[in-house]
Structure formats: C-alpha cells, structure tokens
Structure 1
Amino acid sequence: MALQLMKLLVTATSTIETGPTPAKFFYVTTGETAAGATLSIDTADFFDDAGAAASNLPVLATSNSYFNVNVNGVLQMEGISTYTPGATTVGSLAIEVPAGGDSIPTGSPVVLEVINFSPTSTTTVTT
C-alpha cells in the first residue's frame, strides 16, 4: 500500500441562544426641570413593575446590554442620559434637558429600561 496522509473527520454543530433579561424602573417627576438643567433620579426614587421601591439598578454587561429612557412616553436620545448602576446613593439616572428646548413638567413619567443579554451556547462535536 502506498503511503498516505491520515486525517480525522470531525464535525461540530453549535447552537447559540441570546435571551434578554429586561428590568424596568419608573419615576414620576415631583417638580419641573427647566431647559438647560439636569434631572437626577436616585435608585431609591424609582419603583419597579410591582410598585416596590427599587434597591439596586443593574450593572450593564460589557458589549452585551443597553438602556432606554422614556419621558412622557417618548423614547429619548442616548446622548442626554447618564446611567450609573448601583444601590441607593450610588445608582442613578441623570437626564440633561437640552438648553433652548422644552422643560420636563411636574408629574411626567420617566421609564428606565435596562436590557442585558445572557447568551448561552452548546457545541456538539462528532468524530
């Protein structure tokens, strides 16, 4: 028999699932925030879907998460909000109201939605 190269035959199949883990937080403004000013909301000022006071704002997973801010039911531009995860006095949401625009009136609902993705994968190798 002539010499020949012997190779392994290997096949692999991967299944990747990416499941979001959303968290929503709600706040109602207690005073007007004028144009050019910043509305700062502490973790303790938010309440969750069940109506309970929030105790912690979740960490954003690096390169695998995002947050949305809605004021009066309108999704806001990313550049006006600063999100800081953490417990009371550490975690917060700051909304910089653009100068020359409209203010945020008293009684306005603010909704913070934090979405982290939890990818899982399985690989089956057949030889």
Structure 2
Amino acid sequence: MSLQMQLSAITLDCPDPMALAVFYQQATGLELHPKSDDEFAGLNCGDGNGVLVGFQRVDDYRAPSWPDQVVPQQLHICFKVGDDLGEAEARLLELGAGKPEHQPHGTKARVFTDPAGHPFCVVRGG
C-alpha cells in the first residue's frame, strides 16, 4: 500500500510575514489568506483547495546568500510568466525584488531575490 500525500502548503521563513505576503501578492495576483497576521501570512492558490504559500516570522532571520552558500538558499521557487521576461523583470524590481549579478539560465529564465532574500526564478512559459 502506498502513501497518498497531497501538497497543501509551502512556508518560507522571513522577518516580516505580511510584507513578504504583500510582495508575492502583488507579483502573482494571489489572494491574501483572511487569517494572515504579523506572525504568519499566507496566499491562497486557486479556488481555496490549492496550495497555500505561507510566510512565517522567524526571529534573527538570516537571508540566503545565493549564489554562494554561506547561508544556503534552502528553497527555490519558479514562476511561469509570458514570453517577455523584461516586462516581468521591470515589474518585480518595481515591487522590491533584487536581481543578482549571477544569471545562470541565459534567455530562458531570470533569477531574482524577494525582499527577504529568497531566490526565485521567472521562466518563459506563456
């Protein structure tokens, strides 16, 4: 008998859950979970039966130092965007994302860091 598991949530450590939730909400258009607060905030994916993307407060949080591994990235999220990576980049930078100098994916994808330092990619995928 095999175990049947369904992914229900992914949670990122951070110093300010609401601020990080708002960043990803503005970047993705996902709905803020109604029980979000200063200790834990979440975004609902889909119709409420999808995956919750959560953000939890961690005291003394240390941001990942990608691409070096002095503080490992621990998690890497990828998002599909249309064919115009430049448009996605402009919007993400406007929202407060960082763009590391090291870009290993050529024209297929771009790496950014969210305001808490987590690396994530946007990938062509219209």
**TM-score, normalising length: structure 2:** 0.23
Greater C-alpha Rg: 1
**TM-score, normalising length: structure 1:** 0.23
- Whichever structure has more helix as a proportion of its residues is 2
- Whichever structure has more strand as a proportion of its residues is 1
